[in-house]
Chains A and B, each alone.
Chain A
Amino acid sequence: MSGYWTGILTILSINIIMAYAVFLPVATGQLNLGGAGFQALGAYTAAFLSAAFGLNAWVTIPAAMAVGGLVSMAIAFPLLRTKGVYLVLATFALAEVIAGVILNTDALGGAMGLSVPDFLDYHVPLIAAVLVTLFVFYLMATRFGLTMRAAHDDDVVTDLLGVSVRGVRVAAFSLGGALAGLAGALYAHTFSFVDIQSFNASLSIYVLLYVLLGGTQTAFGPLFGAAFFTLLPEGLRVVMPELKTFIAAAFHQSGPLSPPDESWRFVILGVLTVLMMAFRPEGLITRSLIERLKPGRRTKRLDVAQEVSA
């Protein structure tokens, strides 16, 4: 396989894992705008253990997951006391604090970043992404997954039905933290370098947006969102150059431009977000959609219709 495609596969795998990391709390009704912070936590844990102690990836990856999971569990208790706007702000603030602390810790390379000695090729993230996907599908099929979705829909009634809503939310948030740690560790080992700039607030926003665009009712949503978002720029690569020159001319720009290809991806993501929120706020992939795609459903509908008319 060419380097180009292995690169895309690596990013796709990491994005899928990140998408599930954000999906788990969002599926319980908690918007998480701090995904990048937990990813940074995992990336730096792996990078530091690998660089400072020469540990190999089979040790650093579980360690990164543990750090991500434990830190989110510790923070989840005070954090999940806040609701709505406050929760969004708190997760956002938390990511900024994590980034700020890393930036100011000399052992972690500060603004210079850290090199990661133990290199992994694309196979590992790919396998990890498949496993994580299977795990989340499994989780959503359990009673735990059921209570997560119930807490999303109506936390008051969920509580009255005997579910510890707080427990479910803390668990989902912590699992999400562990997955973000995993995504970070994989990033560190496949790119061989971590740098806090890669885990900025914008990354948190992108991840949240593509999870919401994909849809949060089922485990298909984040998978689709991450895949679409990652593969979109590859498609755009073909059409972009002409458009770019045209727009640049209109704005009186000439000569070498700073590369705006990334920007187009985000403009399109933004437009899709706005359209989606206006017309299909539940995200692209909903439960009804999946139900409709299942074989045999049409006949069932007919039965009901006959029952009613009879």
Chain B
Amino acid sequence: MSGHETANILSLRNVTKSFGGLTVISDVSFDVPRGARMALIGPNGAGKTTVFNLISGFYQPSEGDILLEGKPIQQIPSRKRIGLGIARSFQNIRLMPHLSVIENVMLGQQANAGGLVDMLKPLSFFGHSAWRHEAEALLDEMELSSYPGEVVATLPYGVRKKIEVVRALAAKPRILLLDEPAAGLNGAETDNLTSFLKRLSATGITLLVVEHDMGLVRRLCDDAVVLNFGRKIYDGKTATVQDNPLVLEAYLGPRHAGTVKEGAADVA
């Protein structure tokens, strides 16, 4: 591989995904540069979550390659991909409802703790283990330290949403896929999240974010890929995404394209 290629941490090459006769993703290619903060946006049903599922290995692509630092990973089973540095959150929160906050985070560390010794070492039997201290520190950073012992099922939505991000981070990923991290958060919480993700990005983690809140996307992400009906319709700077006629058409329908410009942000 040439040095030029591996400047991109993650690449999709002509990826197509069909279920039966239904093509959900068709011939999508894009690159995520190392350290980038990239948004993956598009109207409902555009296939954004499917792309995440393909990258994290929950689905196999019907055609095309998914490359991590230039190497195809589509043959690697889903459970091993997090060990390669790909962690994700989920659109509808998928925390373990009967585990406590801290346990969910410690579960996120699994990718770095699969050995027999790690599996059989108590996490908190007599005093707290190093794993637990690390998880507590992560929770501290997200200002969630008042919750460690609480069972997740009883917590408010916004808190659970944040915990999911922390759980993904616990795997020490190189690239973090966030599926609507700000959904259900209020304005202050969204601002908090944005600055947290910026700090995170400064430490070198690449972010790929699916998000409907265009405010967050504009403040956080420099680059954006727009999908519509499973096809890529835009790949470039976030700043200029609203000037693209295809994007406007996708969001507002053909009649409004070009007439209502500012509205795109709200609808998105």
CA distance A25 to B36 in the complex (A): 43
Residue interface bits A146-164, CB-to-B below 8 A is 1, else 0: 1101101110111111111
**Complex partner residue of A162 from B83, B121, B125, CB under 8 angstroms:** B83
Residue interface bits A165-197, CB-to-B below 8 A is 1, else 0: 100000000000000000000000000000000
CA distance A127 to B107 in the complex (A): 33
Q: A297, B149: Cβ atoms under 8 Å?
A: yes
- B188 close to chain A: CB less than 8 A: no
Of B9-17, B108-116, B178-186, the one with at least 4 CB within 8 A of chain A: B108-116
- A242 close to chain B: CB less than 8 A: no
Closest to B88 in A: A160
- A287 close to chain B: CB less than 8 A: yes
- A144 close to chain B: CB less than 8 A: yes
Closest to B108 in A: A161
Of B23-31, B38-46, B94-102, B236-244, the one with at least 4 CB within 8 A of chain A: B94-102
Which chain B positions have C-beta within 8 A of A50? Answer: none
Which chain B positions have C-beta within 8 A of A142? Answer: 119-123
- A252 close to chain B: CB less than 8 A: no
Of B74-82, B210-218, B219-227, B245-253, the one with at least 4 CB within 8 A of chain A: B74-82
Which chain A positions have C-beta within 8 A of B171? Answer: 161-162
User: Given A144-B120, A146-B99, A153-B96, is A288 in contact with B154 using a C-beta cutoff of 8 Å?
Assistant: yes
Which chain B positions have C-beta within 8 A of A138? Answer: 122, 125
Which chain A positions have C-beta within 8 A of B47? Answer: none
CA distance A217 to B110 in the complex (A): 20
Count of B interface residues, CB-CB < 8 Å: 43
For A154, A287, A291, the residue with the greatest tally of chain B CB atoms inside 10 Å of its CB is A287
CA distance A147 to B103 in the complex (A): 10
Residue interface bits A279-298, CB-to-B below 8 A is 1, else 0: 00010001110010010010
Q: B114, A157: Cβ atoms under 8 Å?
A: no
Which chain B positions have C-beta within 8 A of A153? Answer: 96-99
**B185 nearest CB across to chain A (Å):** 15
Residues from 137 to 182 in B contacting A, C-beta threshold 8 Å: 146-147, 149-151, 153-154, 167, 171
Q: B96, A149: Cβ atoms under 8 Å?
A: yes
**Complex partner residue of B106 from A146, A165, A282, A303, CB under 8 angstroms:** A146
**B95 nearest CB across to chain A (Å):** 8
Q: A161, B122: Cβ atoms under 8 Å?
A: no
Q: A143, B154: Cβ atoms under 8 Å?
A: no
Closest to A152 in B: B98
Closest to B79 in A: A159
- A304 close to chain B: CB less than 8 A: yes
User: Given A153-B99, A162-B171, A297-B149, is A147 in contact with B79 using a C-beta cutoff of 8 Å?
Assistant: no
Closest to A306 in B: B146
- B230 close to chain A: CB less than 8 A: no
CA distance A304 to B88 in the complex (A): 28
- B124 close to chain A: CB less than 8 A: yes
Which chain B positions have C-beta within 8 A of A303? Answer: 146
- B189 close to chain A: CB less than 8 A: no
Q: A141, B151: Cβ atoms under 8 Å?
A: no
Q: B96, A150: Cβ atoms under 8 Å?
A: yes
CA distance A160 to B100 in the complex (A): 19
CA distance A24 to B113 in the complex (A): 22
- A262 close to chain B: CB less than 8 A: no
CA distance A291 to B103 in the complex (A): 13
CA distance A165 to B113 in the complex (A): 15
- B118 close to chain A: CB less than 8 A: yes
**B136 nearest CB across to chain A (Å):** 14
Q: B111, A161: Cβ atoms under 8 Å?
A: yes
Which chain B positions have C-beta within 8 A of A163? Answer: 79, 107, 110, 114
- A81 close to chain B: CB less than 8 A: no
User: Given A143-B106, A149-B99, is A287 in contact with B151 using a C-beta cutoff of 8 Å?
Assistant: yes
**A280 nearest CB across to chain B (Å):** 14
User: Given A160-B57, A162-B82, A287-B151, is A143 in contact with B113 using a C-beta cutoff of 8 Å?
Assistant: yes
- B131 close to chain A: CB less than 8 A: yes
Interface residues of A (CB under 8 A from B): 138, 141-144, 146-147, 149-150, 152-154, 156-165, 217, 282, 286-288, 291, 294, 297, 300, 303-304, 307
Given contacts A142-B121, A149-B98, 15 further A-B contacts (CB under 8 A): A141-B122, A142-B122, A143-B118, A146-B106, A153-B98, A153-B99, A160-B79, A160-B81, A161-B110, A161-B171, A162-B80, A163-B79, A163-B107, A282-B98, A304-B146
Interface residues of B (CB under 8 A from A): 56-58, 78-83, 88, 90, 94, 96-100, 103, 106-108, 110-111, 113-114, 118-125, 131, 146-147, 149-151, 153-154, 167, 171
What 3 pairs between A and B have smallest CB-CB spacing?
A: A153-B96, A162-B111, A162-B82
26 A–B contacts from the bound complex (CB under 8 Å): A142-B121, A143-B106, A143-B113, A143-B119, A143-B121, A143-B131, A144-B119, A146-B103, A146-B106, A146-B107, A147-B110, A158-B96, A160-B88, A161-B108, A161-B110, A162-B110, A162-B114, A162-B171, A217-B98, A287-B100, A287-B151, A288-B151, A291-B151, A294-B149, A304-B146, A304-B147
